[in-house]
Structure 1
Amino acid sequence: MTLVLLGLGVFAIATGLLLRFYAYPALAKIPHDPKTSAVAQGSGITALVYVEKNGAPTQPEIRRNLSLTSSTFVSGDMRAPEVKADSRVTSWVEATRITEDRDGLTLSASVRELCLDRYSAEAVAPCTTQYVQKTKEAGKDTKVPGTRGQPQFPGLNFKFPFQTEKRTYPWYDTGVGKQVDATFDGEDQVQGLPVYRFTVSVPPTDIDGRQVPGSLVGKPDATVAVRLHYQVDKTMWIEPDTGALIKVRQSVKQELRGPDQGAGRGTTVFDGTLELNQKTVDANVRAAEANKSRLWLLTGLPVVLWIAGGVLLAAAAALTLVGRRSRH
């Protein structure tokens, strides 16, 4: 009996160690070929749109009280040279389009590709396939490839790491075009799912210069040189075991300013809040719960096995001690 308990105890502890320190690192990594979609919506938004009038070329126009929908689809680039079955790096593609609900006008569209560390979820380099392509004014596209030696979108982009901690993480903000702090803001629940809440705040920042029609900014000139200023307040609800984004809300403001205009004195070309809709949040909760259960087999079960193994070894030791005393 003592040998049986001893064997079971050793087996339990060894199995726990195998699951936690071998199986977990091998399996807790982001996939090569995700196929996820997300829809964010908002209303009462001010935005710049480009419209055709009487067959003339599209012209910029500021509209207010709009309802907008942002649709995002993320997939994997299985042909990227960085993507191999057991590689630490993968390559994801994100396609996003923001449309106006009533007339179906496209306000903006973009596609970007980047390489990610499959364990930390941070962007990495070298990455031969990274780029961003945006639809700019009047439907004109521009594609910007990345530099091979450095990540084009440094920081976290799609999710947080497995076993997310209560600390600040680097998050890449596409609006300002650089990584910013995602700060832990407390624990919360979404539909009963325990989550961590993180916030991102970017103060008004000069991000671009451009020439616009004077009529757009209240000037008599044919064209006017202005600077685009951007600010955002973003809240993300993260399931900590998987690092998955469950719910996201962001409030964005963009303002065109002339050289003599300070904050709030320019022309607002975007002002509104977009939030993941209920269907997307429901899907995110279901996926996180399923993945969290799978991860428990690699994180929670080892603890149970270690405790059980310790109890079995203690029982074996106790039986051995009792046996020795009975022989004397």
Structure 2
Amino acid sequence: MKRTLGNALILIGAALIVIAVLLPTFLVPRLRVIPLDTVSDTSTEIREAALLDSALLGKNQPAPGRENDPRCKATTDEEKQKLPVHCFINDKTPLQSKRHVEIEEPADEKVATMQVGTTMLRDDKEEPNNLVNATLDRITLNRSTAFPVEDPTSSVAINAPKSGQDTEPPTFPRPGIQYQFPFGTEKKSYPYYDVQSMRNFEIDFVGEEEQAGETVYKYSMTIPPQNLYESLKEHFTRDGRKLTEADKNTLASMRLSFPGHKWGLEGDEDVEMDRYYTNVRTVRVEPTSGVIVNGTEEMFMFYARDAKEAEEIASKAGHEKERAERNRTAMDYTAQWDGKSKEAQMQKATDAMSAMFIGGTVAPWILGIVGLILVLVGFRVRSKG
């Protein structure tokens, strides 16, 4: 009887040791995947920004803070129509960005589709007049690598305020990461897709920091001036797609034509300008899980006659001059994640880290030790049989 019991303990103990050895190989890879129940909400702090108020521009009504500006004094309708763009740029517009991420179909053991809704909101207005812009982004990712699949399944729907009815956005293959870094993030550059410009850029590792007691990796990228009119038109007309009325309304704000004096230039001849965009994006990533735990964006949108002028306005000296004069600004805004968002994302990261640590280290050690004890006890019991 004791010999039989001893053999049983040895077999069970040996099995546990084998499981302990193999557990990290089989279990950890199953933990290093994007969860299918992923849901997250992040918001930025409410901060003052410079914003061209299209509603006031349409009514020829100076923005708050410009009423006493000598350049914005007008009494007759004719004088109001000649007010420069400068008069409709509010330097103290309280803005906040909100993002909601959830998983939708297709989603299985290999891929997960993220649907990401992002809105830019004014804190000084009530709904629905508080909406500055909104995007609905869909991207199908490889759950293991966190990179987009190669198929043309990504889409970005862009809805400017009062842009008309929704239309089916074009689909396309997306080249870079965006909302999630790879598991086991490395200290190197990664391709990063920028939704605003519909372009791919490198985001570079710049150092380590500490957040909530954890080591995080800091990455940064600088996007040079991008012509948003051309980028969006190219996006809307992919694969021969025709522009819809909603597309045309969105593009309308990206290319404006006014007499030169309204742009702060000399003369009354019409001058056409496109909206350009630059950004300095900085993110912090918990490297084990690849979760982004903090984000900052220094967005600057402005109007320029051509790429050369855009480079001049986007330069350090040009940006400082524009901040002082405000003749071409569409938006000048520094967005910083708020404390609640950073805390929630770090909790997601630590939960993932804990699961991988338990599955890859704690559980194997416990099973291995228990297995070894059972084997030793088994031999002892059998020897006494």
Please report the TM-score for the alignment, with normalisation by the length of structure 1. 0.78
Cα-to-partner distance string for 1:212-260 (whole Å, 9 max, x where unaligned): 1516634676964212222111111111111101111111111210148
Given residue 351 of structure 2, which amino acid in structure 1 is its aligned partner?
Answer: A
Distance 1:162 1:202 in 2: 25
CA distance in 2, matches of 1:161, 1:16: 26
1:279 alignment partner, one of 340, 343, 347 = 340
Equivalent position of 1:158 in the other structure = 179
Does residue 217 of structure 1 match 2:263? yes
Q: Which digits, 9 at most, give the CA deviation of each residue in 1:49-101, with x for residues without a partner?
A: 33268989xx9842212221101111122xx3x323x3x11211111110111
2:255, 2:161 → 1: CA distance? 11
Q: Distance in 1 between matches of 2:168 and 2:309?
A: 30
Query: 1:98, 1:201 → 2: CA distance?
Result: 21
Secondary structure of the residue that 1:297 maps to in structure 2? helix
Change (3 A) 1:211 1:304: same
Q: Does 1:254 align with 2:301?
A: yes
Distance 2:281 2:263 in 1: 28
The answer to which structure has the higher helix fraction is: 2
Any conservation in 2 of the 1:132–1:144 contact (CA below 8 Å)? no
Offset of residue 303 of structure 1: 7.6
Q: Post-superposition shift, 1:127?
A: 4.9
What is the SS of the residue equivalent to 2:345? helix
TM-score calculated relative to the size of structure 2 = 0.68
Task: Determine helix, strand or coil for the equivalent of 2:288.
Answer: coil
Higher relative contact order (CA 8 A, sep 6+): 2
Give 5+ residue unaligned stretches, structure 1.
Answer: 317-328
- Provide the C-alpha distance between the structure 2 equivalents of 1:200 and 1:63, rounded to a whole number of angstroms: 28
- Correspondence 1:131 to 2:152: no
The structure-2 alpha-carbon separation of the partners of 1:177 and 1:54, relative to structure 1 and needing over 3 Å to count, comes to closer
Counting matched residue pairs gives 306
How many Å separate the matches in 2 of 1:160 and 1:140? 35
The 3-state SS of whatever aligns with 1:246 is strand
Deviations 1:20-54 (A, max 9, x none): 22112223211234221110125231122332689
RMSD: 3.6
Do the aligned partners of 1:247 and 1:281 also contact (CA within 8 Å) in 2?
A: yes
Distance 1:89 1:63 in 2: 44
Given that 1:50 and 1:138 are in contact with CA atoms closer than 8 Å, whether structure 2 keeps it comes out as no
Structure 2 residue identity aligned to 1:43: R
Task: Mark the CA change 1:53 to 1:254 in structure 2 (over 3 Å): closer, same or farther.
Answer: closer
**Alpha carbons 1:134, 1:143 under 8 Å: kept:** no
Aligned with 1:83 (options 80, 95, 107) = 107
Note the C-alpha offset of 1:146.
3.9
| Structure 2 residue corresponding to 1:230, chosen from 277, 282, 286 | 277
Do residues 43 (structure 1) and 47 (structure 2) align? yes
Distance 2:145 2:92 in 1: 40
Answer with 1 or 2: which has the greater Rg.
2
2:229–2:255 Cα contact (<8 Å) kept:
no
The whole-number CA distance in structure 1 between the counterparts of 2:178 and 2:119 is: 17
